[in-house]
Amino acid sequence: RSQRPGEAVTPLTISASAPASPPSSPPSSPLDNPIERQRLSDEQLDLTVLQVQTLCKRLINEYQACIRSKEVDPTHYRKTEVAINKCSQQLTRAHRQMVRKTWHTGEAEQFLNMYNGKDGGKCDSFTDAARRVLLVNRVARVWRERASSNVMKKTNSEETGRRAMQLGLDSWDEIDIFQLDSDTGHPLATAFMAVWERRRISKICKMSSVKVQELLHAVELQYKQNPYHNQIHAADVLLAAWYLWSGLTNCSGMQHHYTEIDLLVMLFAAAVHDIGHPGLNNEFLTKTRHSLALRYNDISPLENFHAATAFELMKDKGVDLLDHRLPSPPVQALRKRVIEMILATDMAKHEEKLERFSAMSTGTLHDMDKTVLEKHLLHVADLSHPLRPYSLHRQWSERCTTEFFSQGDQERELGFEPVSLYDREKAPPLAKGQLGFLKFIVIPAWKPLQNIAKDAIEVPERFLSENLARWEKLAEQSS
């Protein structure tokens, strides 16, 4: 019996001792489990075709021999015909079920018809029919996987949007960044997409939300599992930058001074400002002649590396996050701003940048150079964990100390003498070390910003004062 076009086949086991007479009862369906059959590899399916061909030839010969024989009971004819018809019906039914389950639209079938040049004719042989079935299976498998992938992307995007609505972006102390990392595993992507959804940046950005989320996941993978300079730190800096930026834009006369494109530049710079950080500072890279120091001629090697890595990754992923629908500014100008913000996080330039910002902060907020303000804002966000609630600030302080000591250990192994802050044997107690950090680094950078936007950043200022008092008390107790 010739196989009908489109009818599915299933592997049959060929026994070495096949019966020489027609079966006494109807054979079982050759398609007991179409889902399991779908999982077979192409090589197994090709082997199955050969096995079925061999068995069919044998059965045809036996059937014809029975017809020619006058001694065979006529009931065997009827049983064989019933078995063949039943097998054909079940094959057709199973094939249709498979198509309904695996083809989400008619697009796959249209493609198959075009590829096959289908004209509704019959197959010339069993092999032709079997090959068509194999082709249907392969095309259906590809389209099923593609549809599943699209559904997964849509689900992930919707989940991110749901989390974005749940994040307390308007509160400085509501988000526990460590808990966010524990809950999601993607603190940076979640934080970025939360602001993205809140401000509807997708309306001006040419990239889809799904593509942006894919880029952020790739950025997270580039962050190393350092105690301090990791994706959690990047997420914390991003949220701090968002809060401070949002507060400044709500000040009198600033509502239209900054736009969503300015926010996008700030968010991207914050997200990638420490990407690929090795857990070592520039001083270590320079004196050990590290490859990054040699590549960037000892000039802010880490910060140059972060900026270059970010834009290389964006190019590799084909996601130009800074490409927008507005008539201006040009993308190249936005790229320059991102690079300058990242370079401004180099602590070696702390005093120089602070003096320039302090000199410009004597006027009104509206009169300040936008690029100078955004660079200082990101720098402050990078140093902002002392402005967080004490429980979070303490964790960051301990993580930073652990990373410092790790560098100090490497310096000692290489024959260098680490400075006391990086030497676990000579370092001051945690309380005294943090007092120095707050008084000589954080507060001098924070005060000029506070002076020009007091009402907008009142909550961080309160936590800074509380943390300073807490460390002073602990330092007294340890002395």
Q: Which of 233, 230, 243, 153 is nearest to 198 (CA)?
A: 243
Cα dist from 4 to 63, 89, 462, whole Å? 19, 11, 80
CB 406 within 8 A of CB 281: no
Position of tokens 């936008």? 370
Q: Which of 140, 94, 97 is nearest to 115 (CA)?
A: 140
CB 345 within 8 A of CB 273: yes
Helices 390-413 and 177-184, packing angle to 10 deg: 80
233 is catalytic: no
Q: How far is CA 305 from the centre of its chain?
A: 21
DSSP labels, 326-392: SS-S-HHHHHHHHHHHHHTT-GGGHHHHHHHHHHHTTS-GGGS-HHHHHHHHHHHHHT-GGGS-HHH
CB 352 within 8 A of CB 240: no
Rounded CA-CA distance 105/337 in Å is 46
- Residue 324 pairs in a beta bridge with 205
Three-state SS for 189? helix
Backbone angles phi, psi at 248, to 5 degrees: -65, -40
Rounded CA-CA distance 234/406 in Å is 20
Q: Which of 263, 340, 337, 245 is nearest to 300 (CA)?
A: 340
Among 95, 104, 217, 229, which one carries the catalytic annotation?
Answer: 229
CB 197 within 8 A of CB 161: yes
CB 380 within 8 A of CB 443: no
Rounded CA-CA distance 155/379 in Å is 35
- Count how many Cα atoms sit within 13 Å of the Cα of residue 174 in the half-sphere of its side chain: 7
Question: Looking at the annotation, which residues are catalytic?
Answer: 229
